[in-house]
């Protein structure tokens, strides 16, 4: 019941988007979904605090989201959304979490180019207590190169506020450039992206610069009279921290460096127009000169999704 109440109590901006008058030529669509499943994690951790328990556990997942799309004119489009996820571990109660995310996006098409801006607000609870608040704003553009290729540069500014770890409060400036290639009648695509993060924390020990690269492949296809969707992705980044501090491994003063490699594979099987089975496998290798931030994890999940 709490999950349904939170889905209904979407942010005011999203409600306003739904209630705005729709003209005869406008197109307004509203979609929602709920998911329930299990996730097995080999090393339960809090990635934002770089704390890993070293223990494996299974969590129950409950998720819901609502999305609104409003095509106000042939060129102007507004999108909004709200989602909530509850994750409850069978044994590691201290890692139980709730994540709420709201977003609003406006884009305008100018010939072969689309320009846009979006706002994100996220709130995370840990062990039933407020943990983290994230506010983020982004400017982007999408440029068409031919019939099936696009490039998307973006600039993003964000602020993170921790309820109990104020020394980690941070402002981040990010730049990214993604290229998209669509083929097979747009049923498949490949994405290659370059990104750079510059995070400035209240405590200089947590400030860093991080170049990175990401790649993703997605394919939708029919098989055995059912619709399938397969996605493969990888991301790598290297964090160079600003402050000089003792190295856990050598006890000598040095600048901390982290290498983060993440891989994921997901498969969606549509049993009907409204019912789907979702599976996902993720692996993260977080190597660091700081021993507490040096760990690995693997996650696998299975969920059932109902859309309406």
Q: What is the DSSP string of 197-255?
A: EEEEESSGGG-EEEEEEEEEEEEEEEETTEEEEEEEEEEEEEEEEEEEEE-TTT-SEEE
- DSSP class of residue 111 equals T
Measured from the Cβ of residue 127, the count of other Cβ atoms closer than 10 Å reads 12
pTM of the shown model: 0.84
Q: Which of 80, 111, 97 is nearest to 41 (CA)?
A: 97
| pLDDT above 50 (res 65) | yes
Mean pLDDT of the chain: 89
- What token pair was written down for 71? 């095509």
Cβ-contact 167, 201 below 8 angstroms: yes
Cβ-contact 159, 134 below 8 angstroms: yes
Which pLDDT does position 22 carry in this prediction? 46
Which pLDDT does position 167 carry in this prediction? 94
The mean pLDDT of 133-160, rounded to a whole number, is: 96
pLDDT in tens, 3-45: 333 333 434 444 444 444 445 456 899 999 999 999 999 999 9
The mean pLDDT of 90-104, rounded to a whole number, is: 96
Which pLDDT does position 210 carry in this prediction? 97
pLDDT in tens, 109-138: 998 999 999 999 999 999 999 999 999 999
pLDDT in tens, 252-278: 568 899 999 999 999 999 999 999 999
Q: Which of 36, 37, 38, 42 is nearest to 57 (CA)?
A: 42
Place of tokens 């709490």: 2
Place of tokens 């109440």: 5
| Percentage of the chain modeled with pLDDT above 70 | 89
């Amino acid at each position: 019941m709490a999950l349904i109440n939170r889905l209904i109590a979407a942010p005011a901006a999203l409600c306003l988007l739904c209630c705005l008058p729709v003209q005869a030529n406008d197109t307004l669509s509203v979609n929602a979904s709920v998911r329930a499943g299990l996730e097995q994690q080999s090393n339960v951790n809090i990635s934002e605090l770089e704390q890993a328990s070293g223990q494996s556990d299974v969590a129950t997942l409950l998720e819901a989201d609502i999305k609104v799309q409003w095509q106000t004119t042939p060129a102007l489009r507004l999108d909004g959304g709200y989602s909530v996820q509850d994750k409850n571990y069978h044994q590691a109660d201290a890692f139980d979490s709730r994540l709420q995310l709201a977003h609003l996006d406006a884009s305008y098409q100018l010939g072969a180019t689309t320009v846009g801006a979006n706002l994100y607000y996220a709130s995370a609870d840990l062990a039933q207590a407020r943990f983290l608040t994230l506010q983020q704003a982004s400017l982007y553009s999408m440029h068409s190169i031919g019939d099936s290729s696009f490039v998307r540069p973006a600039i993003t500014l964000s602020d993170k506020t921790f309820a109990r770890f104020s020394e980690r409060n941070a402002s981040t400036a990010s730049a990214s450039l993604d290229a998209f290639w669509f083929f097979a009648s747009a049923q498949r695509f490949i994405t290659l992206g370059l990104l750079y993060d510059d995070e400035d924390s209240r405590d200089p020990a947590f400030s860093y610069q991080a170049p990175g690269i990401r790649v993703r492949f997605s394919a939708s296809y029919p098989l055995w009279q059912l619709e399938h969707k397969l996605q493969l992705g990888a991301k790598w980044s290297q964090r160079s921290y600003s402050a000089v501090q003792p190295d856990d491994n050598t006890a000598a003063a040095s600048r901390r460096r982290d290498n983060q490699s993440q891989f994921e594979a997901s498969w969606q099987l549509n049993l009907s127009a409204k019912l789907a089975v979702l599976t996902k496998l993720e692996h993260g290798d977080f190597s660091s000169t700081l021993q507490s931030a040096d760990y690995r994890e693997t996650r696998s999940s299975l969920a059932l999704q109902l859309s309406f």
